[in-house]
Amino acid sequence: MRKPLVAGNWKMNGSSTSAKTLLDGILTQAESFSSADVALFPPAVYLRQVQEALTNSDIRWGAQNLSQFKHGAYTGEISAPMLNDFGCKYVLIGHSERRCLYAEIGLDQLVLDYIIAEKYSMATQEGITPIICIGESPEEHADGKTEEVIARLLDIVIDQNGVKALSQAVLAYEPVWAIGTGKSATPEWAQEVHSFMRERIKKHDPETAESIQILYGGSVKGDNAAPLFSMPDIDGGLIGGASLDANEFVQICMAAV
Ligand code: PEP
């Protein structure tokens, strides 16, 4: 039986004052979702504040990105050992906003996918659980290429790290057309893609396929979370915009229990 996970990605939003209000609002209602795993992903500069606020709670936290390198001349990057200094349990890898907005010019898709697989490997080596985000663009969706896109990235991660490495990871299906658009995938569509992901892993290792948490992300709100989370292969959500409002985020967490 997989435990649901709800992850709140704050993206580049907030201030230390608004972070305090949000954390207080979530913590005062934490008992209402105690049977789900919940994790918050603040901007890196607020990790210490989040760590201090959540240390004595069951809520975990993580970073929105990490470098594939351990240390060195990589200005502006943050390494896995640094994230460990801040008690991060998780790290998001391959979020579509990183892929689309920060893909180095000149890198082709395959090279980019390999960098993501290297970040994944770095996180697991350092004991941080990667939440690897995979999803098709609006164009790929319109062209019926969803499964092709999902299969490509999953296969690279498995080929490079071995399928057993997935047992230390979380997957998130995040269709790019649903992120921040207010247009969530239907529960049936998301279930079909999640089931495809699980079946693909099953070909390598049925045990890992059965145990891995697969989250759905893309315009999940308080009022559409429950039908999505009730699908058999959807194990919770990666929440962007709605994680910035304590009451709405708590409503989503409650839909996962
Ligand atoms: C996200 O940032 O991963 C996300 C799913 O955003 P939103 O919930 O705002 O669509």
> What is the Cα–Cα distance from 99 to 149, expressed in whole angstroms?
13
What is the domain extent for residue 81? Answer: 61-243
Q: Does 254 reside within a domain?
A: no
- Digit-coded pLDDT (tens) for 51-63: 999 999 999 999 9
* Mean pLDDT, rounded, for 84-108: 80
Q: Is residue 204 part of a domain?
A: yes
Q: Does any domain span residue 28?
A: no
Does the residue 12 lie in any domain? no
Residue bearing the CA closest to ligand 1, atom 1: 240
Nearest CA to ligand 1 atom 4: 240
**Considering the domain boundaries, does residue 19 fall inside one?**
no
d(CA 246, CA 228): 20
Q: Residues 187-233: pLDDT tens digits?
A: 999 999 999 999 999 999 999 999 999 999 999 999 999 999 999 99
Under a CB-based contact definition with an 8 Å cutoff, are residues 222 and 245 in contact?
A: no
Assess if residue 126 is contained within a domain: yes
| Count of structural domains within the chain | 1
Q: Any idea what the CATH number is for the domain that residue 157 is in? A: 3.20.20.70
**CB of 174 sitting under 6 A from ligand 1:** yes
pTM over 0.85: yes
- Residue of 239, 243, 244 to mutate, ligand 1, most atoms within 8 A of C-beta: 239
Which atom of ligand 1 lies nearest, measured to the CA of 174?
Answer: 5
What pLDDT, on the 0 to 100 scale, is given for residue 113? 78
Query: Do the Cβ atoms of 219 and 174 come closer than 8 Å?
Result: no
Which residues, in sequence order, are CB contacts of 176 under 8 Å at separation 6+? 96, 100, 135, 136, 137, 138, 141
**145 belongs to a structural domain:** yes
Is 219 near ligand 1, meaning CB less than 6 Å away?
yes
Give the pLDDT of residue 46. Answer: 98
Residue 37 lies in a domain: no
